[in-house]
Structures are given as C-alpha cells and as structure tokens.
Structure 1
C-alpha cells in the first residue's frame, strides 16, 4: 500500500474521532495527516513525511488550537428568560413572607417568597431577586 493512502486513512480516522471529542486537537492532527499525504504523493521519503507531520502538528496545536479554543469559549453575553430576572430589583406589591407574597419585576407581577424564610418584607419595599423557582421569585430586601 502506498504511503499517501495510509496518511489519508489516518486523516479520516482522526477527523471522525474529532467529531466525537470536539477538542480541535484531533482535527488539526487530521489536517496534518492530509498535508503529509500530499507530501507522500509527491514521492518524498518517509523521514521527510514524518518531519512534515510533526512540524504541521506542532504548529497547529501550538498556534491554531489556542485561537480556536479562545473563540469557542466566549461567554454568553446576554441572559434570557427567567435567568435575566436574577439580580434585578423588584417592588413589593403584597407583603412577602417565607410562604407567599407578590412583587413587580419590570412591569410584571410575580408570586414571591422571601429568600430568608424568617424575614417579612412589607408592601412598598424594594427587593432584589435572588433566584427564580418555577413561577416564584425568591427575593431579599435591600439594605
């Protein structure tokens, strides 16, 4: 079997493994194997093929992979749904206890409970939304 065929098979195996791992490392090694397959198709000897594979692998893993991982790990810039309510302030419409209450968050009324069950928050107070449990806001009074 020709050398270039072996490199192509290696590239395919690494590419399939990358699909399952999503680390960007195996994909870069697959690209290195493809480049080495081209070198082998030209007819260069095995030591040069191994040198090309090593150099392109190192370059890919040292230069390209950190750039790719930096772009993949971008934090979500905005929170959506009920996650966006956590940390907002709310206005107490009906006294909030450890069991029940009603607050207005951004123009919407939500059922509420005090985050600290021993605290009673009077009507008209301003509170912070600590957590959302289902359709109930867990709130804590502002100092």
Structure 2
C-alpha cells in the first residue's frame, strides 16, 4: 500500500512540474508495489524500485532529450512556402519587383539577384518571404 501512495505522491510533481523523472520514479514505486503483492521482502521491494527507476532514467531520459532538441517536421505559415515553385504573372526583377502565383494566391515578388529578370509564365522558386514579398530565384 505504501508503494502505491509513493507512486501517487511522485505523480503529483510530475503533473505540476512536467519533469518526466518523477514519472519514472512513480513507475519504480508501482514495480515495488507489484513485488510486495507477489510476496517479496522489503529489501527486494527497494531493490526493484531502485533498479526500475534507474533503468528508466538511463534509457528514457536520453531519448527524451534527443527528441526535445528536434524541430517540428511540419512547416506551416510562411515557412511552408519556402522552396515552393511559383508562376510569374507580372515581370519580376530585383528592383521594382512584380507578381507571382504561389500556392493559389497572388504575391508580390522580387528577384534575389538584382540583375535577374523573370518574364510572365516562367517558373521560379521561392527562397524566402520578407513581409508580403516573396524573394525568388
């Protein structure tokens, strides 16, 4: 019974602080309760608690840290438009710029290279979005 109380007690800081280590200790406490339920002695219960908790921390924590540092795989908003192809509607150059059709919408655009000119009907690639203007190559 004490192991289950300890598991609940360790689950509370897990929810409040969002620190996964508390959850791993809570699982260790449940493993200790299972050991007690199967008739294991106090020393065996503590050893199972420690072994399960340390094993979870040693295995799960590095995996969680590795995934925490990754950026999302799904780009949205203007980030999703970078690298897309567009069709030139009005002449696009590096100075005044022009218009392109990008993802079904008409955007103002300018060429990345100031000396480059793109004529209507040409396909261009979006390098970046600056405000409401697409920079194309």
Q: TM-score when scaled to structure 1?
A: 0.64
SS at structure 2 position matched to 1:128: strand
- Offset of residue 129 of structure 1: 0.4
Distance 2:78 2:42 in 1: 59
Unaligned runs of 5+ in 2: none
Deviations 1:110-139, CA, capped at 9 Å, x for gaps: 1113335x3442323432101223432122
Distance 1:24 1:99 in 2: 54
Distance 2:86 2:99 in 1: 10
For residue 109 of structure 1, the aligned residue among 99, 106, 124 is: 106
For residue 123 of structure 2, the aligned residue among 123, 126, 129 is: 126
- Offset of residue 76 of structure 1: 5.2
- The aligned counterpart of 1:84 is 80
CA RMSD between the two structures: 3.5
For residue 47 of structure 1, the aligned residue among 29, 36, 43 is: 43
Q: Aligned pairs, how many?
A: 133
- Offset of residue 53 of structure 1: 0.4
Distance 1:37 1:103 in 2: 66
For residue 60 of structure 1, the aligned residue among 56, 59, 62 is: 56
Unaligned runs of 5+ in 1: none
- Offset of residue 108 of structure 1: 2.7
- When residues 37 and 55 of structure 1 are mapped into structure 2, their CA distance, relative to the original with a 3 A threshold, is same
SS at structure 2 position matched to 1:19: helix
